């Protein structure tokens, strides 16, 4: 094959664009991007800023990650943060400890 033809072939392959035609819908979705706005939560405790002792973790929160374990990591890490805050609240008898930490 001539150099010119090879170059043209290489350029065509390198510039080949794939445009997704759509998604497979909710039935196949692996993460939903929940709906609870992260701005409404303390990032330290996952407690609602305006409602004491109300916590949101994991996929119900507007957080999503690439495939590869990031969503599990988020679910577990946010659960640990909230669990510690709940335990602290139970120990101290109020929501004040968690509410103060952001």
Ligand X SMILES: Cc1cc2nc3c(=O)[nH]c(=O)nc-3n(C[C@H](O)[C@H](O)[C@H](O)COP(=O)(O)OP(=O)(O)OC[C@H]3O[C@@H](n4cnc5c(N)ncnc54)[C@H](O)[C@@H]3O)c2cc1C
Q: How far, rounded to the nearest angstrom, does the alpha carbon of residue 76 sit from its chain's CA centroid?
A: 11
Other Cβ atoms less than 10 A from the Cβ of 41: the count is: 23
**Residue 50 in tokens:** 């305006």
Distance CA 66, CA 45 (A): 23
Nearest to 95 by CA among 59, 31, 51: 51
Footprint on this chain of ligand X (rule: CB under 6 A) = 30-31, 58-60, 67, 69-72, 75
Nearer to ligand X, 31 or 101 (CB): 31
- Select the residue whose beta carbon is closest to ligand X and give its number: 58
CB of 67 to ligand X, least distance (A): 6
CB of 88 to ligand X, least distance (A): 21
CB of 35 to ligand X, least distance (A): 12
Tell me which residue has tokens 């957080």: 63
Nearer to ligand X, 59 or 99 (CB): 59
Yes or no: say if 44 and 80 are a contact pair by the CB < 8 Å rule: no
Nearer to ligand X, 38 or 94 (CB): 38
CB of 33 to ligand X, least distance (A): 10
């Amino acid at each position: 094959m001539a150099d010119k033809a090879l170059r043209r072939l290489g350029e065509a392959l390198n510039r080949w664009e794939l445009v997704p035609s759509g998604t497979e819908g909710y039935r196949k979705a692996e993460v939903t991007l929940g709906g609870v706005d992260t701005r409404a939560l303390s990032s330290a405790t996952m407690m609602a800023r305006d409602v004491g002792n109300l916590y949101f973790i994991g996929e119900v929160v507007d957080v999503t990650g690439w495939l590869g374990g990031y969503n599990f990591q988020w679910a577990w890490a946010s659960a640990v943060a909230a669990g510690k805050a709940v335990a602290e609240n139970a120990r101290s008898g109020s929501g004040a400890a968690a509410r103060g930490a952001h």
